[in-house]
Amino acid sequence: MRQRALLFDIDGTLADTDALHIQAFNAVFGRYGHIFDRARAARELLGRSNASIGAEFLPDEPPERRAEIMAQKEAVFRSLAAGEVQPLPGLMTLLDHAEAAAIPVVAVTNAPRANAEMILHGLGIAARFRAVIIGDELPHGKPHPLPYLEGMRAVGAAPDRSLAFEDSRAGITAANAAGLVTVGMRSNLGHDDLIAAGAALTAAAFDEPEVLALVTMRLGAGA
């Protein structure tokens, strides 16, 4: 029998880092004429890969320069986020639940590996994750399903015995396309937007009864 798994996006899902990302984008992209408020960022930035963001907002720059600019943005983000990241409510309860039931957990993100590792270590949960899948290290990042397919492959999990947690349209699209049921975390988008994107339900905390009931239903009575 194939393995169960819980798969988590990182930014905006494990920790509400979106405001810091927007601040970093504005610090770097402002000089190119792009300023983002939270609503615009939710529509146009959050959850997307750096490659796709660079191609859209820096079309006149060669690919190598786009990569340098995106690296500057990520360095600004890390300087802002150092020591500032806090878990979304109920995260530790759900991770404890998974550990007690021997359910592997996997991080699936479009963030650079340096960002992902900083956040996981900053939350004190890096050792709990069996794998960290980085979209930009694959041929396709989210909203393509490949990052989630790779996350399940890393632990031998089946989509019908697994569950994804996301906060962005691109992330929900990717998880659903990989065959996963997805919980939308309301750190960035509201209930209606998350449901419209394809989330099965939405939550503000990981330990809400509806979330825990879905975990039990999808991953079995032992979850």
Residues 132-191 have pLDDT tens digits of 999 989 999 999 999 999 999 999 999 999 999 999 999 999 999 999 999 999 998 999
The CATH number of domain 18-81 is 2.60.120: no
pTM to 2 decimal places: 0.89
Assign a CATH topology to domain 3-16+87-219: Rossmann fold (3.40.50)
Tell me the three-class secondary structure of the chain, residue by residue: CCEEEEEECCECCCECCHHHHHHHHHHHHHHHCCCCCHHHHHHHCCCCCHHHHHHHHCCCCCHHHHHHHHHHHHHHHHHHHCCCCCECCCHHHHHHHHHHCCCCEEEEECCCHHHHHHHHHHCCCHHHEEEEEEHHHCCCCCCCCHHHHHHHHHHCEEEEEEEEEECCHHHHHHHHHCCCEEEEECCCCCHHHHHHHCCCEEECCCCCHHHHHHHHHHHCCCC
Q: Where are the domains of the chain?
A: 3-16+87-219, 18-81
Residues 15-58 have pLDDT tens digits of 989 889 999 999 999 999 999 998 899 889 888 889 899 999 99
pLDDT of residue 47: 82
Residues 94-128 have pLDDT tens digits of 999 999 999 999 999 999 999 999 999 999 999 99
